[in-house]
Amino acid sequence: MNKFVKLPLFLGGVSLIFCTTLAIVVNFCKPQMEKNEQKKTEEAYASLYEGEINILDLDEKYLDFKDYSQIKDLKKIEHEGKNSYVYSLTTQDPQSGTVSFMLGIDSEANKVDAYTVVANNNSGYAKQFENVDAVKDALVKYGDGEGSFYRTAGATKTENAMKYAVNQAFLHYRNNFMGGNN
Amino acid sequence: MEKQSKKSIFINPLIKENAILINLLGMCPVLGVTTSINNALGMGVAVILVLFCTNTFISLIRKWVPDEVRIPVFIVIIACFVTMIEYLMKAFTPDLASNLGLFIPMITVNCIILGRAEAFASKNTVVDSMLDGLGTGIGFLGSCLLLAFFREVLGTGGISFNNPFTGKQLFSFLPLEAIKMPIFVQTSGAFMMFGLILGVFFAIQLKIEESKKLKEKKAKENLAKEVK
Amino acid sequence: MKLAINPNPYVRSPRSTFKIMMELLLGLLVVWLCSIIYYFTKGNAKEGLFAIINVLISVLSCSLVEILFFIPKWKQEANHDIKSLLKKELNSFGYITGIILALLMPVGVAWWQIIICSIVAIVVGKMLFGGFGHNIFNPAIVGRIFALICFNTSFSYGLKDFNGSESINAGATILTEWAGNGWDLHAFNTPKWDVVLGNYAGALGETFSIVLVIVGIILCIRKVIDYRICLSYLVMCSLSALIVGCRTYYPIKFMIYQICTGGILFGAVFCLTDPVTSPTTPLGKILFGSIAGFVTMLIRFRGSSAEGVAYSILTVNMLTPLIDNLLAGRTTDKFKTKAIVIGAISLVFLLISCSYTIGVKQSDPDVNLKPVSKEVVEYHEPSLENLEVYYE
C-alpha cells in the first residue's frame, strides 16, 4: 500500500480504538466521581457541627456573589432543629498565601456558631487560626481607649485579611437574611 | 540478540535488572510517592497495570506501525492507558488518588514505560512482552515498597495501612513513634534514604560477584590440579 | 586532600594540622566552660549537668562512629593494636565536630536525639564523602539542621524564656518570637545587657557574644582561623541589619541585637571558618563570607524560619568548589580589580537588603504593646453601627 494511504489509515484506526475505549471508561467512572465529590462536601460541612446535619436548598438570588469577592459559597444547614448559614470564604493576602475557611452563622441568634479552616497553603501565619474558636477567643484587645486595636495573638498580617472576609460574610448576611427574611 | 527463555524474561527485571535500583530509571515518582506504604502500593499497582496493557498492545500492533510515527504512537497509547487508570482510580479509590495527586498522570512520561515499549515490546511477541511488562512492574513495586518501608518506619515511627477503596484505617503499628524523624517523609530524607539503599544494594551485589569470582577461581585451580 | 596551591617558597614550621585543631579545641572549651557556669548559676543544677552531659555524649558518639568506619581498613594493616586505631581517630578530628554540634544544640535536648544527630552528622556529612579533608559540608551544621527539621518542636531552650515566665513554647527562641512580632524592637522584652552578655534562652554556645568575640579575635591573631571570612561575614550581616534597622527608631540597637541573637557569632568563629569547607584564596574567602552574610539575612527577613545561619553555611559550602575553581591559580595581585569585584557584589547584596525593610514593624515607642486586658471580643450581631467595612 502506498505510504500516504497506510499512515493516515493506521493513525485513524488507532485513534478510533482508543477514543472509544477512553470514552467508555470515562463515562463509566463519572457517576462514581460525582458521588465522591458530594460525599466530600458533606463531610466538610459535617465537621462543623456535631450530630446530624441536613443541607437545605437555597434560593438562587441569595447565591449571587459578584459584589463579594471573598465569599465562595453559601449553604443553609439544619442541625438539631436550628438553621445556620455557612459561608465558605477565602482570604486574599498575596504575601502570606490563601486561607480557606468556613463560617457558620446561626440564623436566629445572629451569632457565629461554627468555624473551621478548610485549607491553607500559608507559610505559617494562618496556622494560628487552625484551632481558634471564632466565638470564644478569636480576638484579643490590645491597648486601651483611642489607640486600641484587636488582633489575634501572634499573627500579624493574616488576621486583617480574615477580618475582611468575615465582614463580607456579615454584610451579605445583613443584606439578605436579617430582619426575618429567613 | 539471543532468545531469552520465558522464565528469564520474567525473573530478570525483578532483581538483576531492576528498573529503579540497577538501571536508575524513572526515579522521580519513586521519590515523591514513597512517603507511606499505601501510596507506594497504589503507585506500584498502577504502574504494573499500565506496563502490562501497553506492552501487550504495542507488541500486538508492532508489525503495522510505520517507522516514522513509532514514538508518537507509543506515547499516545501510553497516555490513553494512563488516563483510563487515572479515572478509574479517581472514581474508586479517591483518597489514594488525591494523595498521589500529580504522580498518576506523570506515569505517562516515566522512562520505564517508554523504554520497555521501545526496547522490548516493539520487537518481541505478545506473550514475551506481557511477561516483561509484569516483571518490570513487579520490580518497580518491590523497590518502591522497600524505600517506602524504611521511610515510613523512620519518619512516622511505624506502619499504618488504609483500605484504599474506602479510606478507613486497617491497622497501624507505631512502635518507634517516640523517636520519629519527620525529615524522612520529606524530600531531603527521600534522597538520603534512597542513596543509602542504593549503597547497600550495590555493596551486596559486589559481595555476590566477588564470591562468584572466588568460586570460579577455585574451580579452575581444582581443574588444573586434576589435570596435573 | 587539599593540596597547598600557594606559590613557593614553602616554609617548614613545627605547626601541623593537629596543633591548629588543638588550639581551636581550646577556644571551644572556653565557650563550653562559659555555658556550664552560666547554666549552673542562672538555671538549676539539672540544666548545668545537662550542659556537661550533652557535650560528652556528643563527643563520644561522634568518635565511636568514626572508629567504626576506620575498622575495616585498620584490620588490613600490618600491626593492628588499639593505639593505631586511636591515632587514626585523633587525626580525623571527629570529636571537634562532636563538641561544635553539642554547642549548637539547646540544653533541653534528649540524649538519644544527640546520638542520632551525631550519627547523621558524621556518616552523611563526613564519612560518606571520604573522611577528614574530603567533606563538602560542615558536618556539625548537617547534624544541626537534621535536628532542626526533625526535633525542633521537642526542644526546650531551658531557663525562663525572655518574658520571664517558664518557657511553655517548645521550640521557640528569642529570635523566632521576635520574627513573629515583625521584628518590632518594642516587643523584644529582654534588656540590653542581657542580650549582649548572653543571659537569655538560646543554644548552648551561641549566646555569649562578648566571649565569642574575644575568642574569635585571639584565634585570628594566632592564625588558627582566617580573619577574612569572619570579618566579611560580620560586615555583610551588620550592614544588612543596619539598613533594615533604619526603618525602626533605633537602628544601631537593632543591628547589635540582630548580631547578638541567633548563631551569627558562633557560626562566624567556629563553623564558617572550617579550612576544609572554605575556599583557599584570599579573594575567595572574602566572597565566601559576603555571600554567607547575604544569605543569612535573606533567610532571616524573607524566609519563613529565623534560623538563617545554618542554612546559609550549607549554601556557601556548596559554592566553595566553584569559587576555588574560578579563582585558584591566579597570580595577579591587582588590588584594584579585586576591590572592584568585591565592591560591586557587596553593592548588589546591600541593594537587595533594602527590600527587607518591607514587613518590619515600626511601632511608636510610646504605645505599650503588652496586652493590657485579655478581654475577649465576641463577634456580635452585625448591625449598622458596629460593622466595619474595609474598602479596597
A144 — contact with chain C (CB < 8 Å)? yes
pLDDT surpasses 50 at C168: no
Please name the member of C181, C367, C387 whose beta carbon is closest to the beta carbon of A143.
Answer: C367
- Which residues of chain A have a CB within 8 Å of the CB of C361? 156
Q: Say if the Cβ atoms of C378 and A154 lie within 8 Å.
A: no
Average pLDDT over residues A141-169: 53
For an interface test with C, the pick among A108, A113, A140 (most C C-beta atoms closer than 10 Å) comes out as A140
pLDDT surpasses 70 at C112: yes
Q: How many domains is chain A partitioned into structurally?
A: 2
Using CA coordinates, name the residue in chain B closest to C117. B181
pLDDT surpasses 50 at A138: no
For an interface test with C, the pick among B151, B176, B179, B181 (most C C-beta atoms closer than 10 Å) comes out as B181
On whether residue A182 sits in a domain, the answer given is no
In whole angstroms, what is the distance from residue B168 CA to residue B170 CA?
Answer: 6
In which element (H, E) is residue B115 found? helix B111-116
What is the pLDDT of chain A when averaged over all its residues? 68
Q: Say if the Cβ atoms of C116 and B179 lie within 8 Å.
A: yes
Per-residue pLDDT reduced to its tens digit, C25-63: 999 999 999 888 888 887 777 778 888 999 999 999 999
Average pLDDT over residues C113-117: 93
A127 — contact with chain C (CB < 8 Å)? no
Q: Measure A33 CA to nearest chain B CA, in Å.
A: 5
> By C-alpha distance, which of A31, A53, A35, A32 is closest to A44?
A53
Q: Cell 526533625 identifies what position?
A: C150
What is the pLDDT of chain C when averaged over all its residues? 79
Q: Say if the Cβ atoms of A150 and C304 lie within 8 Å.
A: no
Q: Cα A106 vs. chain centroid, distance in angstroms?
A: 17
Q: Cell 522521580 identifies what position?
A: B28
pLDDT surpasses 80 at C220: yes
State the pLDDT at residue C9. 53
Higher pLDDT, B15 or C180: B15
Average pLDDT over residues C284-293: 91
For an interface test with B, the pick among C150, C153, C154 (most B C-beta atoms closer than 10 Å) comes out as C150
Question: Quick one: what percent of chain B has pLDDT higher than 70?
Answer: 99
Question: Quick one: what percent of chain B has pLDDT higher than 90?
Answer: 51
In which element (H, E) is residue C197 found? helix C192-197
Show which residues on chain C lie within 8 Å of chain B, measured between beta carbons.
112, 116, 124, 146, 149-151
Q: Cell 534528649 identifies what position?
A: C110
On whether residue A5 sits in a domain, the answer given is yes
Q: Measure B95 CA to nearest chain C CA, in Å.
A: 27
Q: Cα A102 vs. chain centroid, distance in angstroms?
A: 6
Q: Say if the Cβ atoms of C387 and A139 lie within 8 Å.
A: no
* Residue C339 confidence class, pLDDT cut points 50, 70, 90: confident
pLDDT surpasses 50 at C262: yes
State the pLDDT at residue B139. 94
State the pLDDT at residue C380. 46
Average pLDDT over residues B175-198: 89
For an interface test with C, the pick among B183, B191, B192 (most C C-beta atoms closer than 10 Å) comes out as B183
Q: Select the highest-mean-pLDDT range: B219-223, C154-158, C379-383.
A: B219-223
Q: Cα C391 vs. chain centroid, distance in angstroms?
A: 45
Higher pLDDT, C13 or C300: C300
Average pLDDT over residues C66-86: 84
Average pLDDT over residues C287-305: 86
On whether residue A181 sits in a domain, the answer given is no
In whole angstroms, what is the distance from residue C187 CA to residue C175 CA?
Answer: 11
DSSP letter for each residue of C82-108: HHHHHHHHHTTTHHHHHHHHHHHS-TT
- Which residues of chain A have a CB within 8 Å of the CB of B91? 28-30, 32-33, 36
Question: How many beta-carbon pairs under 8 angstroms link A with C?
Answer: 68
Strands of chain A, DSSP E: 53-56, 71-79, 82-90, 99-106, 112-120, 139-142, 149-151
Per-residue pLDDT reduced to its tens digit, A18-53: 999 999 999 999 998 888 888 887 777 777 777 777
Higher pLDDT, B65 or A102: B65
Residue A158: domain span: 53-176
Using CA coordinates, name the residue in chain B closest to A11. B73
Which of A16-20, A128-132, B126-130, C91-95 shows the lowest mean pLDDT across its residues? A128-132
- Which residues of chain C have a CB within 8 Å of the CB of B200? none
Using CA coordinates, name the residue in chain B closest to A32. B91
Q: Say if the Cβ atoms of A25 and B84 lie within 8 Å.
A: yes
> By C-alpha distance, which of A138, A136, A141 is closest to A128?
A138
Q: What is the ipTM of this complex?
A: 0.82
Cα-based distances in Å from A75 to A42, A135, A170, C6: 11, 20, 14, 76
pLDDT surpasses 90 at C138: yes
Please name the member of B179, B180, B182 whose beta carbon is closest to the beta carbon of C149.
Answer: B182
For an interface test with A, the pick among B87, B99, B104 (most A C-beta atoms closer than 10 Å) comes out as B87
Per-residue pLDDT reduced to its tens digit, C171-193: 556 776 676 666 766 666 666 67
Higher pLDDT, C198 or C151: C151
Beta bridge partners of C202: none
On whether residue A85 sits in a domain, the answer given is yes
State the pLDDT at residue A98. 65
pLDDT surpasses 90 at C221: yes
B186 — contact with chain C (CB < 8 Å)? yes
Average pLDDT over residues C66-71: 90
pLDDT surpasses 50 at C370: no
Which three cell numbers, joined as nine digits, stand for A112? 457565629
Higher pLDDT, A120 or A51: A51
State the pLDDT at residue C16. 78
Q: Select the highest-mean-pLDDT range: B52-61, B158-167, C40-49, C323-332.
A: B52-61
B183 — contact with chain C (CB < 8 Å)? yes
On whether residue A24 sits in a domain, the answer given is yes
Per-residue pLDDT reduced to its tens digit, A53-65: 777 777 777 777 7
On whether residue A90 sits in a domain, the answer given is yes
The CB-based long-range contact list for A81-88 (8 Å cut-off, 24+ gap) reads A82/A106, A82/A107, A82/A108, A83/A56, A83/A107, A83/A108, A83/A182, A84/A49, A84/A113, A84/A114, A85/A173, A85/A177, A86/A45, A86/A48, A86/A114, A87/A169, A87/A172, A87/A173, A88/A118
Q: Measure A107 CA to nearest chain C CA, in Å.
A: 11
For residues A107 and A39, state if they share a domain: no
Residue boundaries of the structural domains of chain C:
16-159, 225-362
Q: Say if the Cβ atoms of B77 and A14 lie within 8 Å.
A: yes
Per-residue pLDDT reduced to its tens digit, B138-156: 999 999 999 999 999 998 8
Cα-based distances in Å from C129 to A64, B141, C18, C124: 63, 30, 21, 8
For residues A11 and A96, state if they share a domain: no
On whether residue A12 sits in a domain, the answer given is yes
Please name the member of B179, B186, B188 whose beta carbon is closest to the beta carbon of C112.
Answer: B179
Higher pLDDT, A74 or A157: A74
State the pLDDT at residue A2. 77
For residues A36 and A59, state if they share a domain: no
Q: Measure A179 CA to nearest chain B CA, in Å.
A: 43
